[in-house]
Structure 1
Amino acid sequence: MKKTFTKLFSAALLTGLTIIGFSAKAQSTSLADNGNTPATVVKSTTTASHADYKPETIPAATAATTEVKAKAADPDTAWKPQRRVWGYTFGDFYYTAHADNDFVSATGVPEGGAGALSKRGGETNYSGVPTYRNAFQFRRVYLGYDYEITKKFKAEFLLASEPGANTNAATGTTIQNGDNLVDGKMALWIKNANLRVRDLWTGTDFVIGMQSTPGFALNEAGTNGPTSLSEATWGYRSIEKTITDFHKNNSYDLGASLQGTFDPATKNFGYVVMLGNNSQASLLSAANANTGFYKIVYGDLWAKFFDKKLFLDIYADAAKTAPATAAIGGQQHNMFKIFAAYNTKPITIGVEAYTQSFTNGVTNSTTKTVEDATAQGLSIWVKGGLAKNLNYFARYDTYNPDTKFTAADSYAANTNYSSYTPTVKEQFYTAGLDYTPYKNVHFEPNVWLVDYKDQRTSTTTGYVAPDHTLVFRFTFFFTFGK
């Protein structure tokens, strides 16, 4: 069934590309204006607003004044393309008041003592950070460029650097992760590079290249894509990712998508369907067993009700990957998610719940058998205004990595989710204030806390007692070019 769906989707994309070609040819023929020399040359300059645009006209020597005015009023010549450099940055001054003490530190300090490091919660920003550490840290730096080639075609390019606070477990001092160069300096990498075809048919855009997935991250205004998915509605990515992003669902991928609305005039109902590599920004070698053989399919339906106050979003994905080993067998994972938010002037409340299955996801170390695993998560948040330029936010997440876990047994993970472990349940809490002296500048003092609970019984080998990581932060966030 999945192979059939993939073939059908690929055929649809091929048909779309054919339509694009005919559209581009027709547009080119129209612009040729039957070989006549235009009486007006229109020069455009780049600004962020289309409303204030006034084309500069240079009448030809033989052109009548009425002809010049007619050309200036022509929508094709009056159109001003977007050329926009934009970006945003957020980071913190943070203080780790307490680290989850999963093991003895390199200096020999016992668990629970000063300087011990956290090993659990590998998907979090503070895994491996010692107690009492404090530092200024960037957590994201974006630099993007949007370029409208024509009214029909738009290109997007985005560089990103997203370093973590993770420290070297051997020393507890050196910042070290994938977004840092070998000398420890921040690195930029390509996160988005795509071409958008607006209104491939009325109300639907076609996007190809490196792009955001419909899991939570689409929020580009002025397109037929949704602007009310979970990350855009939560609105505090500077504080933390959404729950599915937190636990490593793909937020971006290399592939092709259709992003559309069922009611183009009002844009209250829409969809996204995407076929991707399931590799995000990573380049897989030809020797990799997943390259060219397996893909991930993303699907999303979204709606707005009650004068756009109620948002509803339903998401699903499905992916197969190569067998981990011959003994473990084929791997695949599937996610189903529902998100709802109610937005009024004094308060916005959001709820996001998901379930994710991993076929042959774990091996029971006691019974030596390969088993399926099912992860579940629930996120509830609230935000609102306290005074002019001052808002608040609070959020609670609960996460169970394996609902089929047997407490008396131990398990090893087989999935390609590098931070996944079936052993540890998590509960996440955050709350804070948002002072906004200007709409694109935010100062956000906040508390960040994760509780960890081992699913194994206390007598099971490897059991670790419940503990937590607590961080106090002063977060800063600013946007430019948007």
Structure 2
Amino acid sequence: MKKTFTKLFSAGLLLGLTVIGFAANAQTTSLAGDAQTAAPVATTTTATAMPVVKKETKSADVDTKEVKKADDPADTSWKPQRRLWGYAFGDAYYDAHSPAVTSTFGKENNYYQTPTYRNAFQFRRIYLGYDYDITKKFKAEVLLATEPNENTIPTSSTSSVVNGDNLGDGRMSFYIKNFNLRTRDVWNGTDFVIGEMSTPGFALNESGTNAPTSLSEATWSYRSVERTITDFHKNNSYDVGAALQGTFDPKTKNFGYVAMVGDNTQATLTTVYNPNSGLSATNPNPNTGFFKIFYGDLWGKFFDKHLYLDLYADYAKTSSTLTAQATTTTLVGPQEHNMFKGFAAYTTKLFTVGVEAYTQKIENAALNTTTKAAEGATVNAISLWVRGAIVENKWSYFARFDSYNPDTKFVSGDKYSTVYTNYSSYDPTVKEQFYTFGLDYTPAKNIHFMPNVWFTRYTDQYATTNTSYTPDNHTLVYRLTFFFTFGK
């Protein structure tokens, strides 16, 4: 294809020289500066003029090395990427059991407040992206997403369902998830990215750049079945900010890092602005961006890229206080949050096993109404999984177990009310255990059908004698998950 194009291109050059009489040097310079403008000219010429092109090029004293390179079919020079791509996944599901729709169990999962015995076809994610190389140095990335929840509860008595990415009439809507500019190799092995982008928490996996491709989501490789444990419990998967994404060994890309600062706009830590009080130093408008979150990540591939290790941390702090009438001081102090996470996976041709564990500290996380004080929380969680091949490129299997404790400091005899983290689904009172397993049938590349079982068990941390105690419950869903991707 490239050889044909270059022949036609050269024929077009000949025609321009013959009719207009421009010097060959000037014409060559013009075409090199605007290849897209010159391309239509080539389509109006024939191959019979090819021998004359070589003669005219020689007499005009054009750089013959450059012409040879353009005509060389083995030329491996950079070619700009213009890629429209997308993917989607969803399920045909049957909800065999869920807590009552009035229950607060399972706020973070897709089936929160879904009635028992409901069955439906559902998209859980649709992506539409476009990657554009502006030059060899600069690349732009655009990503639109819709990720609706299966929620059937109206937001008010007069509205229809508005949840996740549903519109006011319940229909799905795209939103801008990524929109950024990448500068490749600001120094050898390191890219600079600014805009809205994936964070290194688990999802920053972009091949062909200096970003890592071995973080937990890509290695688990079944996002279509369920999110990673840090994603499930609301670590930022994307943010608006700036980042350095680099490798310490650019030739082999076995070791690298990510350093990022963002607005923390996906999951702000607290509603620092009280609309019932006037603006002040202790009650600033949160939309003006006073506070930032810092992300750091170190990753490595060992033993001939069979062992993946990843260490991640983030930190954010506010400097505001909140008015809270139920506390002894009537004020809740500044909130801060930081996470430390480790991920390891061992991968072979036949199977891959992985473990991801994190601890997260949230200062002034919730109000203890017994002590009338805002208390900090320590979150601990671990995820174990395995996946492997049954028939290569046709049938695979996967299984996973997660354990999540939202507050290891929880006092079972006390009572808790207001949550100050502004993680809208955070609940310090309920521990969760998640299980999933299934098969993966791949009839063609990038097309998957995955029958699977999705199960979450909820355990109340209150003592059974506490009036706030709720008996244990669970969500059990049987699903046929479908996943396909194109253009990538």
Whether the TM-score (by the shorter chain) exceeds 0.5 is yes
Q: Partner of 1:476: helix, strand, or coil?
A: strand
Provide the TM-score with structure 1 as the length reference. Answer: 0.82
Question: Distance in 1 between the 2:143 and 2:336 partners?
Answer: 30
Listed one character per residue, the Cα deviations across residues 213-250 of structure 1 (whole Å, up to 9, x for unaligned) are 00000111000000000000000000000000000000
1:393 to 381, 392, 398: 398
Counterpart in 2 of 1:50? none
Listed one character per residue, the Cα deviations across residues 170-218 of structure 1 (whole Å, up to 9, x for unaligned) are 79x9643031111111100000000000000000000000000000001
1:289 and 2:286 matched = yes
Listed one character per residue, the Cα deviations across residues 408-457 of structure 1 (whole Å, up to 9, x for unaligned) are 01123221211101100000000011001112000011000000000001
1:409 and 2:394 matched = no
2:244 to 258, 263, 266: 258
Structure 2: unaligned runs, 5 residues or longer:
1-24, 38-49, 274-278, 324-330
1:128 to 105, 113, 119: 113
2:311 to 307, 311, 314: 314
RMSD value, Cα: 2.7
Q: Aligned in 2, Cα 1:156/1:132: closer, same or farther, shift over 3 Å?
A: same
Counterpart in 1 of 2:41? none
Counterpart in 2 of 1:196? 182
Q: Aligned in 2, Cα 1:324/1:87: closer, same or farther, shift over 3 Å?
A: farther
Deviation at 1:44, TM superposition (A): 6.8
1:330 to 322, 334, 358: 334
Amino acid at match of 1:148: D
Question: Distance in 2 between the 1:334 and 1:325 partners?
Answer: 20
Counterpart in 1 of 2:146? 161
Q: Aligned in 2, Cα 1:288/1:439: closer, same or farther, shift over 3 Å?
A: farther
Deviation at 1:71, TM superposition (A): 4.9
Q: Aligned in 2, Cα 1:416/1:324: closer, same or farther, shift over 3 Å?
A: farther
Question: Distance in 2 between the 1:266 and 1:461 partners?
Answer: 60
Question: Which range is displaced more, 206-215 or 119-128?
Answer: 119-128
Listed one character per residue, the Cα deviations across residues 133-187 of structure 1 (whole Å, up to 9, x for unaligned) are 111000000000000001100000000000010120679x964303111111110
* Map 1:6-405 → 2, pairs under 5 A: 38=28, 41=31, 43=35, 62-64=56-58, 66=64, 69-72=67-70, 78-101=77-100, 118-168=103-153, 175-280=161-266, 288-289=285-286, 291-321=288-318, 323=320, 325-326=322-323, 327-388=331-392, 389-405=394-410
Question: Distance in 1 between the 2:122 and 2:103 partners?
Answer: 18
Counterpart in 2 of 1:23? none
Amino acid at match of 1:133: R
Q: Aligned in 2, Cα 1:154/1:199: closer, same or farther, shift over 3 Å?
A: same
Listed one character per residue, the Cα deviations across residues 290-320 of structure 1 (whole Å, up to 9, x for unaligned) are 6321000000000000000000000000011
Amino acid at match of 1:288: N
Question: Distance in 2 between the 1:322 and 1:99 partners?
Answer: 40
Amino acid at match of 2:336: Q
Deviation at 1:119, TM superposition (A): 2.6
Amino acid at match of 1:200: V
Contact 1:95 1:135 in 2 (8 A): yes
Contact 2:234 2:267 in 1 (8 A): no
Contact 1:248 1:417 in 2 (8 A): yes
Question: Distance in 1 between the 2:87 and 2:136 partners?
Answer: 26
Q: Aligned in 2, Cα 1:221/1:117: closer, same or farther, shift over 3 Å?
A: same
Deviation at 1:62, TM superposition (A): 4.0
Question: Distance in 2 between the 1:429 and 1:342 partners?
Answer: 21
Provide the TM-score with structure 2 as the length reference. Answer: 0.81
Amino acid at match of 2:232: F
Question: Distance in 2 between the 1:315 and 1:77 partners?
Answer: 37
Deviation at 1:118, TM superposition (A): 4.5
Deviation at 1:325, TM superposition (A): 0.7
Contact 1:40 1:59 in 2 (8 A): no
Q: Aligned in 2, Cα 1:78/1:300: closer, same or farther, shift over 3 Å?
A: closer
Quick one: percent identity of the two aligned structures?
62
Question: Distance in 2 between the 1:78 and 1:346 partners?
Answer: 36
Contact 2:236 2:267 in 1 (8 A): no
Q: Aligned in 2, Cα 1:76/1:334: closer, same or farther, shift over 3 Å?
A: farther
Contact 2:161 2:169 in 1 (8 A): no
Q: Aligned in 2, Cα 1:444/1:322: closer, same or farther, shift over 3 Å?
A: farther
Residues paired across the two proteins, number: 421
Deviation at 1:330, TM superposition (A): 0.3
1:477 and 2:483 matched = yes
Deviation at 1:39, TM superposition (A): 5.6
Q: Partner of 2:219: helix, strand, or coil?
A: helix
Question: Which range is displaced more, 365-374 or 348-357?
Answer: 365-374
